Chain A
Amino acid sequence: GDSVTQTEGQVALSEEDFLTIHCNYSASGYPALFWYVQYPGEGPQFLFRASRDKEKGSSRGFEATYNKETTSFHLQKASVQESDSAVYYCALGQNSGGSNYKLTFGKGTLLTVTP
């Protein structure tokens, strides 16, 4: 079945550091790829998506590029802020049969940014 692997379970950075969270996927078809962010006490929120190879998704200074060759969708931000502290989920989406569309999530990466 489809799966998403996030390499880092936790990332600790200082403000203005560069962020990379690694995401690799395995899927039988040609999925769309997503990043979701979950702030403390909230539910996951859509951050951005990419639907085809080499497409870049971005939002709020975060970005990731769909790489079909390496089956990756790594999240990056040039300069993190304390307010970016949250759990980040990589996900893939594709049809699971008929008209049913399914999101498959990774385990999430807890980002902690200190001033």
Chain B
Amino acid sequence: DTTVKQNPRYKLARVGKPVNLICSQTMNHDTMYWYQKKPNQAPKLLLFYYDKILNREADTFEKFQSSRPNNSFCSLYIGSAGLEYSAMYLCASSRGQGCDTEVFFGKGTRLTVV
């Protein structure tokens, strides 16, 4: 099974409220990623876990949190949602890192903040 599962597929959130998105994979991949995709923009890497080590991009450092309680699960947490967080959130995973690594993506969670 080479699937990355994301829940929920659609999420409606209120401004100022927290949001928690869930991702899972059963491929025993050591790396899990979160990307944000807005219309007419490239998918943007927010953060990734390599094993238990969290790496967050500098420009989104304070906006997103994440946890990885075990190898299979990874969450993306927004403490206080703003309208600018409305986007598709893509989770992905890979075994290792490097140019010969294939990254597997989930179908995404579409977050709408109102």
Listed in ascending order, the chain A residues whose CB lies under 8 Å from chain B are 4, 9, 31-32, 36, 41-46, 49, 51, 89, 93-94, 99-108
Taking CB as reference atom, which chain A residue is nearest B3?
A: A43
What are 22 pairs between A and B in contact, CB < 8 Å? A4-B42, A9-B40, A43-B4, A43-B92, A43-B105, A43-B106, A43-B108, A44-B43, A44-B105, A46-B103, A49-B99, A51-B99, A89-B43, A93-B99, A94-B99, A100-B50, A101-B97, A101-B98, A101-B101, A104-B45, A105-B42, A107-B40
A92 CB → nearest B CB, Å: 10
In the complex, which of the residues B41, B50, B99, B104 contacts A32, with contact meaning CB atoms closer than 8 Å?
B99
Q: Cβ of A43: which chain B residues have Cβ within 8 Å of it?
A: 4, 90, 92, 104-108
Whether A100 contacts B55 in the complex (CB less than 8 A), given A43-B107, A44-B90, comes out as yes
B33 CB → nearest A CB, Å: 8
